[in-house]
Amino acid sequence: MKVRVRKIDELKTQEARALAVELLKGRRKLNVEVYVADRKRGFAETLEDGTRVVVVPLWATTAPGLFSYYLAHELAHHYASCFDGSDVHCRAFMKWFKRICPADLWHHELDYNPREAEAAGIAYN
Ligand SMILES: [Zn+2]
């Protein structure tokens, strides 16, 4: 392991990596190291050596839909930054989020980022 992520849950990390393969099926491959860790928030970060890291918080893995949503959200950050040079929750991010996240889970984004989500045409079903 190149990165030091603290409090990693090995089992959930394996699940998350399998899930990421599913979510990214057919997409251009980005080298992203995915982890699940017992922490408050997840994140997407590119390290100084160029390694792309995604961390999903353990609490988000307790509900399957939330797990996929959270992972898709963080992966979308890397796709938006790599292919659109974007680093925040902007339109490019939302475009990638909608590509990566299954449509029936988009609504989670409304709880997190309502303004951008609504602007991207996401609504509660
Ligand atoms: Zn985000």
Q: Mean pLDDT score of the chain, rounded to an integer?
A: 93
Selection from 79, 76, 71 nearest residue 55 by Cα: 71
Residues 96-123, mean pLDDT to the nearest whole number: 94
CA of 88 to the centre of ligand 1 (A): 7
For residue 1, the model assigns a pLDDT of 47
In CATH, the number for domain 10-119 is 3.30.2010.10
CA of 6 to the centre of ligand 1 (A): 20
Q: For 40-89, how does the pLDDT look when each residue is reduced to its tens digit (9 = 90+)?
A: 999 999 988 888 999 999 999 999 999 999 999 999 999 999 999 987 88
Domain boundaries, the chain: 10-119
Beta bridge partners of 32: 52
Helix axes 64-84, 91-100, angle to 10 degrees: 130
Q: Is the entire prediction scored with pTM above 0.85?
A: yes
Round to whole Å and give the CA distance between 82 and 117. 21
Whether the CB-CB separation of 37 and 55 falls below 8 Å is answered with yes
